[in-house]
Structure 1
């Protein structure tokens, strides 16, 4: 295995198909979508699976820098936007790969009465990860250019103190309830009571 993959597995904690998908996506982007400065590449990910750890680790797109955007659509789609080049690409899994993963995963999860065979699942994950790792990109992904508006850069807002819990929070996330300015956490808790 390549050194960066070994480091990625160590960072993530295990070797699995999701991680390999993200790894292959990140390697494709490094090879085909040039960038020169940190934060100029923006990743828009449509899932919160293991794959996103690879994108963060290999490409340096993170929530903290504001160049990782999560859209909870639950599918293996990854959009990358270069602020320098004003270009975007969309990478998604080929239909055959999605179907294959789904079939095996569903058959393992729909066991009859005896529960899930953890060893069988572990073996499948390792074998399928190896298969994905060795597949050529063109057999794994659909890639196309996309024309999207430039994602907004992260912005720093003033903090204010919650009048309920006393913790400081980002001003634009404040809510008013019972005449008090509160953080979202306290707002949700007070709404439930």
Structure 2
């Protein structure tokens, strides 16, 4: 599987070695070959380009993404995460479920942002392609879609011009509220679980976690 993933990614033109490496990692984590994840990846690269910034390594940028649940958009979100470096795990990607293939990338340091939307006509083509109409809509798992169908769907976004994939609004000013991360640990005095201090509560003079908090 990993060797085939490497072959697919290396066959894509227009990406530098660094972008290919992150796409390869994205494909391995995502777990299956489809058109949605690379669409999100390309959209994420477009957002970085519009903001004139690099992929996030720390927590100086964040993404608000508008995909929802159970509508074939989780793949898109994985692509955006890997391209931008703004991940749910780092707490710099937030989902505001609207059932849309749109997101906003915010540079917290410079207080600038861009909004990115996948063009409706591209989505219509994607949803009328065999990957969806002949397989996914009939309940076939993504990993069971034949390679001759799945791989062209994966490569297609990279063969298009950015202006044919996304609409980008901005950059524009975006004020960001400042806050500090918590690095302090507490132990719940009822269940004994370790908890981040900013999630601890006090009940009758005892430090408790939210599971043990009675109110």
TM-score by length of 1: 0.71
1:42 aligns with 2:42: no
| 1:144 to 1:166, Cα distance in 2 relative to 1, 3 A | same
Instruction: Give me the whole-angstrom Cα distance separating, in 1, the residues matched to 2:177 and 2:122.
Output: 29
| 1:152 to 1:46, Cα distance in 2 relative to 1, 3 A | farther
List alignment gaps of at least 5 residues for structure 1. none
Q: Which residue of 1 aligns with 2:8?
A: none
Q: How far off is 1:119 after superposition?
A: 4.6
Q: Which residue of 2 aligns with 1:32?
A: 50
Instruction: Give me the whole-angstrom Cα distance separating, in 1, the residues matched to 2:192 and 2:185.
Output: 12
1:141 aligns with 2:159: no
Give the SS at the match of 1:138.
helix
Instruction: Give me the whole-angstrom Cα distance separating, in 2, the residues matched to 1:22 and 1:150.
Output: 24
The 10-residue stretch of structure 1 (47-56 or 160-169) with the greater mean CA deviation from structure 2: 47-56
Q: How far off is 1:95 after superposition?
A: 0.9
| 1:72 to 1:183, Cα distance in 2 relative to 1, 3 A | farther
Instruction: Give me the whole-angstrom Cα distance separating, in 2, the residues matched to 1:49 and 1:133.
Output: 19
Alignment of 1:177-192 (within 5 A): 182-184=208-210, 186-187=211-212
| 1:187 to 1:75, Cα distance in 2 relative to 1, 3 A | farther
| 1:187 to 1:101, Cα distance in 2 relative to 1, 3 A | farther
| 1:116 to 1:23, Cα distance in 2 relative to 1, 3 A | closer
1:7 aligns with 2:21: yes
Alignment of 1:39-188 (within 5 A): 39-47=59-67, 49-63=74-88, 65-66=90-91, 68-73=92-97, 74-104=99-129, 105=132, 108-111=135-138, 116=140, 119-120=144-145, 122-145=147-170, 148-150=174-176, 152-153=178-179, 155-156=181-182, 158-174=184-200, 182-184=208-210, 186-187=211-212
Instruction: Give me the whole-angstrom Cα distance separating, in 2, the residues matched to 1:132 and 1:75.
Output: 18
Give the SS at the match of 1:116.
coil
Q: How far off is 1:34 after superposition?
A: 2.0
Q: Report how many aligned residue pairs link the two structures.
A: 185
The 10-residue stretch of structure 1 (137-146 or 39-48) with the greater mean CA deviation from structure 2: 39-48
The 10-residue stretch of structure 1 (170-179 or 28-37) with the greater mean CA deviation from structure 2: 170-179
Instruction: Give me the whole-angstrom Cα distance separating, in 1, the residues matched to 2:36 and 2:151.
Output: 11
Q: Is the 8 A contact 1:65 1:154 kept in 2?
A: no
Q: Is the 8 A contact 2:42 2:83 kept in 1?
A: no
CA RMSD of aligned residues (A): 3.6
List alignment gaps of at least 5 residues for structure 2. 1-11, 68-72
